Amino acid sequence: MFKFFESLVDPYQSYTEADTPPTNLWPFLWNYLKPFRWVMTITFVFSTVVAFGEILLIWYVARIVDLLAQGTPEAIIPEYGLEFMLVALWVVVLRTMMAFVDVALLHNTLLPNLGTLIRWRSHRHVLRQSVGWFEDDFAGRIANRIMQTPPAAGEAMFQVLDAGSFFAVSVIGAVILLMSFDLWLALPLIFWIVGYLLLLRWVIHRAGPAAKASSDARSAITGRVVDSYTNIHSVKMFAHHDREINYAKDAIEGARQTFMKEMRIVVKMDVALTVLNASMIVSMGALAIWLWFGGFTTEGMVAAALTIALRLNNMTYWIMWAMTSLVQNLGIISEGMETIAQPVTLVDAPDAKALEMHEGKIALHDLTHHYGRDSGGLEAVSAVIHPGEKVGLVGRSGAGKSTLVKLLLRFYDAEGGRIEIDGQDIAKVTQDSLRLNVGMVQQDSSLLHRSVRDNILYGRPNATEEEMFAAARQAQAHDFILDLADPEGRTGYDAQVGERGVKLSGGQRQRITLARVILKNAPILVLDEATSALDSEVEAAIQDTLYKMMEGKTVIAIAHRLSTIAQMDRILVLDDGKIAEDGSHDALLAQGGLYAELWARQSGGFIATEAAE
Are residues 252 and 382 both part of a single domain?
A: no
Average pLDDT over residues 113-128: 92
Per-residue pLDDT tens over the stretch 272-290 = 988 988 998 898 889 888 8
C-beta separation of 421 from 355 below 8 A: yes
Cα(33)–Cα(26) distance, rounded to whole angstroms?
10
Cα end-to-end distance, the chain, whole Å = 75
| End residue of a domain, out of 291, 306, 340 | 340
Q: How confident is the model at residue 612 (pLDDT cuts 50, 70, 90)?
A: very low
Are residues 371 and 248 both part of a single domain?
A: no
In a domain, 537, yes or no: no
Q: Where are the beta strands (DSSP E) in 304-453?
A: 362-369, 378-385, 390-394, 416-421, 424-425, 438-441
Are residues 28 and 164 both part of a single domain?
A: yes
- The SS3 call for residue 527 is strand
Sign of CA dihedral 81, 87, 90, 93: negative
- Helix (H) / strand (E) element for 249: namely helix 241-293
pLDDT at 269: 84
In a domain, 504, yes or no: no
Q: How, if at all, do strands 416-421 and 424-425 pair?
A: antiparallel
Q: What is the DSSP string of 148-203?
A: HHHHHHHHHHHIIIIIIHHHHHHHHHHHHHHHHH-HHHHHHHHHHHHHHHHHHHHH
Are residues 270 and 381 both part of a single domain?
A: no
Q: Which of 458, 572, 474 is nearest to 518 (CA)?
A: 474
**Edge-to-edge order in the sheet of strand 424-425:** 378-385, 362-369, 416-421, 424-425
pLDDT at 139: 74
Are residues 152 and 15 both part of a single domain?
A: yes
**In total, how many domains does the chain have?**
2
307-344 as b/e: b if 16+ CB within 10 A: bbbebbbebbeebbbbbbbbbbbbbbbbbbbebbbbeb
In a domain, 471, yes or no: no
Hey, what's the torsion of the CAs at 465, 469, 470, 472, to 10 degrees? Answer: 140
pLDDT at 604: 44
Average pLDDT over residues 506-533: 85
Are residues 314 and 389 both part of a single domain?
A: no
Single-letter code of the amino acid located at 337? M
Structure letter (DSSP) for residue 107: I
Are residues 216 and 365 both part of a single domain?
A: no
C-beta separation of 421 from 384 below 8 A: no
In a domain, 494, yes or no: no
383 forms beta bridges with 364
Are residues 96 and 162 both part of a single domain?
A: yes
- Residue 226 pLDDT greater than 60, yes or no: yes
- Residue 613 pLDDT greater than 80, yes or no: no
Q: Which of 458, 467, 454, 534 is nearest to 495 (CA)?
A: 454
CB atoms under 10 Å from CB of 496, counted, come to 20
Cα(118)–Cα(510) distance, rounded to whole angstroms?
36
C-alpha atoms less than 13 angstroms from C-alpha of 12 in its C-beta half-sphere: 1
| End residue of a domain, out of 281, 308, 340 | 340
Per-residue pLDDT tens over the stretch 566-590 = 888 999 999 888 999 999 998 999 9
Structure letter (DSSP) for residue 581: E
| End residue of a domain, out of 290, 309, 340 | 340
Are residues 243 and 161 both part of a single domain?
A: yes
Average pLDDT over residues 537-552: 75
Cα(432)–Cα(348) distance, rounded to whole angstroms?
9
Per-residue pLDDT tens over the stretch 85-97 = 998 898 899 888 9
C-beta separation of 27 from 133 below 8 A: no
Single-letter code of the amino acid located at 600? A
What is the Cα gyration radius of the chain?
35
Per-residue pLDDT tens over the stretch 53-83 = 888 888 888 888 888 887 777 788 888 888 8
In a domain, 412, yes or no: yes
Q: Which of 564, 543, 559, 586 is nearest to 401 (CA)?
A: 559
- Helix (H) / strand (E) element for 353: namely none
Please report, for the domain that includes residue 360, its CATH number.
Answer: 3.40.50.300
In a domain, 548, yes or no: no
Cα(222)–Cα(228) distance, rounded to whole angstroms?
10
Q: Which of 446, 424, 377 is nearest to 524 (CA)?
A: 424
Please report, for the domain that includes residue 48, its CATH number.
Answer: 1.20.1560.10
Phi, psi of 551 (to 5 degrees): -60, 125
**Phi/psi zone of residue 555: left (φ > 0), alpha (ψ -120 to 50 degrees), beta?**
beta
Q: How far is CA 159 from the centre of its chain?
A: 22
- Residue 530 pLDDT greater than 80, yes or no: no
Are residues 118 and 6 both part of a single domain?
A: yes
Helices assigned H by DSSP within 91-138: 95-104, 111-127, 131-135
Q: Which residues, at least 6 apart from 48, have a Cβ–Cβ distance to it below 8 Å? A: 165, 169
Cα(303)–Cα(58) distance, rounded to whole angstroms?
9
Cα(156)–Cα(200) distance, rounded to whole angstroms?
17
- Residue 174 pLDDT greater than 80, yes or no: yes
- The SS3 call for residue 601 is coil
pLDDT at 506: 76
Q: Which of 14-18, 139-143, 384-388, 497-501 has the highest mean pLDDT?
A: 384-388
The vertex-152 CA angle with 146 and 158, nearest 5°, equals 140
In a domain, 241, yes or no: yes
Are residues 188 and 248 both part of a single domain?
A: yes
Q: Which residue range is the domain that position 389 belongs to? A: 355-437+556-613
Q: How far is CA 215 from the centre of its chain?
A: 18
Are residues 326 and 418 both part of a single domain?
A: no
pLDDT at 9: 93
- Helix (H) / strand (E) element for 582: namely strand 578-583
CB atoms under 10 Å from CB of 574, counted, come to 23
- Residue 611 pLDDT greater than 70, yes or no: no
In a domain, 481, yes or no: no
Per-residue pLDDT tens over the stretch 179-218 = 887 888 888 888 888 998 888 888 878 877 787 677 778 7
